Amino acid sequence: MHDFQYHKPSSVADAVAALGSGEDATLVAGGMTLIPTLKQRLAAPSDLVDLSGVADLVGVRDKGDHVEIGAMTTHAAVAASPDVPGCLAELAGNIGDAQVRNRGTIGGSVANNDPTACYPSACLALNATIVTNSREIAADDYFTGMFETALEEGEIITAIRFPKPEAGKYMKFENPASRYALVGVFVAKTGGQVRVAVTGAGQDGVFRATDIESALSSNFSPDAVDSSTIDVDGLNGDIHASAEYRQHLIGVMAKRAVAACA
């Protein structure tokens, strides 16, 4: 890896300042995605701003109708938290392996918006709000493409707010090699509204399967999924799964998720 300047601020304000100081400064959270990229010399930031010293960013807070999860909360902590809705805790508990779950953070995952990551589907399906140092962004407005988000330069995610659903389930079909989501479908019913988000499959990253949503809105049952369609255009194809196979898996995973919600 190339040399960089290392900063370890203890507040969000200091982190923002540090980010602005370098010509090409980058945040590091758990480092599970960033550090391999540095080691492979695919990125060469001038400054690394480590968020692990910002205590305010860690923890799960129960706010009645929603939970607020600090950006620096690890996957393991989310999985173990009694305050987190079960479907979300279960998702966190199946990310990567124990080492990854003990270092990787929800903020890092959502900021990175890997098209095969799990959390983005939870944010969309649960209609989460991404809270940053300067504003609040609705999930629907936040994920803007593969590895692309609405975050501005120098903006830091501080927390994510998830409304508590009546029912919800994430079904992940793992890429056999990486065990990221080859196709992941998050089905949630919150305040009577059904939202279905698909990760791993879209050329532009996570998306809402609106046709399945409307089928399920009138009939929340696995069979209803059969009557909906997923457009194969816009789906990703690679050596592990063609677009057609992903299209098929979205249906299967959606049905299984609905069945598990019942």
Partner 1 sequence: MSETGIGASVKRKEDKRFLTGQGNYLHDIERPNQSYAYILRSPMAHAKINGIDTAAAAAAPGVLAVFTGADTAELGGIPCGWGVNNKDGSPMAEPKHPMLAEGKVRHVGDQVAVVIAETYEQAKDAAELIDVDYEELPAVVDMVKAISGDGPLVHDEAADNLCYDWELGDEAEVNQAFDGAAHVVSIDVTNNRLVPNAMEPRAAIGEYDKATGEYTLYTTSQNPHVIRLLMGAFVLGLPEHKLRVVAPDVGGGFGSKIYHYAEEAIVTWAAPKVGRPIKWVAERTESFMSDAHGRDHITHADLALDAEGKFLGLKVYTKANMGAYLSTFSTCVPTYLHSTLLAGVYTTPKIYSEVKAIFTNTVPVDAYRGAGRPEATYLLERLVSKAAWELGIDQVEIRRKNFIPKDAFPYQTPVALQYDSGDYDATLDKALELADYAGFPARKAEAAQRGKLRGIGFSTYVEACGIAPSAVVGSLGARAGLFESANVRVHPTGSVSIFTGSHSHGQGHETTFAQLVSETLGIPLDNIDIVHGDTNKVAFGMGTYGSRSLAVGGEAIMKALGKVTDKAKKIAAHIMEASEADIEFKDGKFTVAGTDKEMAFGEIALAAYVPHNFPHDQLEPGLEEQAFYDPMNFTYPGGCHICEVEVDPDTGVVEVVGMTAVDDVGRVINPMIVEGQIHGGLAQGIGQALLEACVYDEDGQLVTGSYMDYCMPRADDLPDFKAATTETLCAHNSLGVKGCGEVGAIGSPPSVINAVLDALRDRGVSDIAMPATPQAVWKALKAAETPMAAE
Amino acid at 16: V
Q: How far is the CB of 152 from partner 1 (least distance, A)?
A: 30
Unique residue bearing structure tokens 């095969």? 116
**Interaction mask 168-187, partner 1, x per CB under 8 A:** -----x--xxx---------
Residues 6+ apart with CB under 8 A from 216: 187, 194, 196, 224, 225, 228, 258
Is 8 a residue that touches partner 1 (CB under 8 A)? no
The helix/strand/coil state of 197 is strand
Q: Which is nearer to partner 1, 85 or 115 (CB)?
A: 115
**One residue of 94, 217, 220, 245 binding partner 1 per CB under 8 A:** 245
Amino acid at 119: Y
Q: How far is the CB of 108 from ligand FAD (least distance, A)?
A: 2
Q: Which helix (H) or strand (E) holds 190?
A: strand 181-190
Q: How far is the CB of 87 from ligand FAD (least distance, A)?
A: 15
CB-count exposure of residue 245 (10 Å: 0-12, 13-18, 19+): middle
**Could you tell which of partner 1, ligand FAD, none binds residue 98, using a CB distance below 5 to 8 A set by kind?**
none
**Could you tell which of partner 1, ligand FAD, none binds residue 177, using a CB distance below 5 to 8 A set by kind?**
partner 1
DSSP secondary structure of 5-34? EEE--SSHHHHHHHHHHSTTEEEESS-TTH
**Which one, of 81, 75, 170, 164, lies nearest residue 128 by Cα?**
164
Q: Which is nearer to partner 1, 41 or 218 (CB)?
A: 41
Q: Which is nearer to ligand FAD, 155 or 228 (CB)?
A: 155
**Could you tell which of ligand FAD, partner 1, none binds residue 42, using a CB distance below 5 to 8 A set by kind?**
none
Residues 6+ apart with CB under 8 A from 24: 44, 45, 46, 47
Q: Return residues touching ligand FAD (CB under 6 A).
A: 26-34, 51, 71, 95-96, 100, 103-105, 107-109, 111-112, 114, 117-119, 156-157, 179-180
Residues engaged in binding partner 1 (CB under 8 A):
1-2, 40-41, 173, 176-178, 239-242, 245, 248-249, 252
